[in-house]
Amino acid sequence: MSLIQIRKRSLTIETIFHEGGPVVDKPLKLAAACAVIQNPYAGRYEENLMPFMAELRSLGTLLAQELVDTLGKDNIEVYSKAVIVGVNGELEHGAVWHEAGGWAMRALLGEPKAMVPAAKAVAATGYRLMVPLHYIHASYVRSHYNTMEIGIQDAPRPNEILFALVMGTGGRVHSRLGGLTKENVSVHDGQR
């Protein structure tokens, strides 16, 4: 029997034309793909979480592919992952997403070099989580530091987990604070 029982999925897309300054020629698009699943370990301690982490790779691929299809593979410049564990679970039940979600995004995007940032929490139903984003090829590209909010009104229920992947088409629309640019990335600029 599968450890992954999906109750619902969501896809959220933000299109940002300006942040109070001039309207940009090419708007920034940020997208979050989420899945709410039954937590197979809710209310109990499980020593070995490795089978769950391995099985979650398929969910990671499903969500990552949805984002690639939505934004276009060649347009994606930022990424991240997030988890909200219902209150009958533990943070470690969400930490399995580090490998499963990150691996899936890197595999579909051609193995970019930057680590995949993450956010996770154990929280009540309806909790909203701010997810950090950065450039997929180097973590220290300042123009691409951003966040996107994820969450679903009726999730996660106490015995559920909400898993999310986030991707976007660029840096902040009015970035003007200097620092490393994507054109000048070299080894040791936040690459794995």
Task: Give domain status of residue 1, yes or no.
Answer: no
- 3-state SS assignment for residue 156: coil
Q: What is the mean pLDDT of residues 132-155?
A: 97
Task: Give domain status of residue 97, yes or no.
Answer: yes
Domain count of the chain? 1
Sign of the CA dihedral running 152, 158, 160, 166: positive
Whole-structure pTM value: 0.96
What is the β-pairing status of strands 78-85 and 118-122?
Answer: parallel
In this structure, the dihedral spanned by the alpha carbons of residues 106, 110, 112 and 113, taken in order and rounded to 10 degrees, is 100
Task: Give domain status of residue 45, yes or no.
Answer: yes
Q: What is the mean pLDDT of residues 66-88?
A: 98
Task: Give domain status of residue 23, yes or no.
Answer: yes
- 3-state SS assignment for residue 153: coil
Residue 191 has a pLDDT of 77
Q: In CATH, what number is assigned to the domain containing residue 157?
A: 3.30.1330.110
Cis status, amide bond into 51, omega within 30 of 0: no
Q: What is the mean pLDDT of residues 171-192?
A: 88
pLDDT tens-digit map of 14-55? 999 999 999 999 999 999 999 999 999 999 999 999 999 999
Task: Give domain status of residue 189, yes or no.
Answer: no
Confidence bin at 136 (pLDDT 50/70/90):
very high
Asked whether residue 192 carries a pLDDT value surpassing 90, the answer given is: no
Residue 134 lies in domain = 6-184
Task: Give domain status of residue 96, yes or no.
Answer: yes
Task: Give domain status of residue 71, yes or no.
Answer: yes
Share of the chain above pLDDT 90, in %: 94
Computed over every residue of the chain, the mean pLDDT equals 96
pLDDT tens-digit map of 50-76? 999 999 999 999 999 999 999 999 999
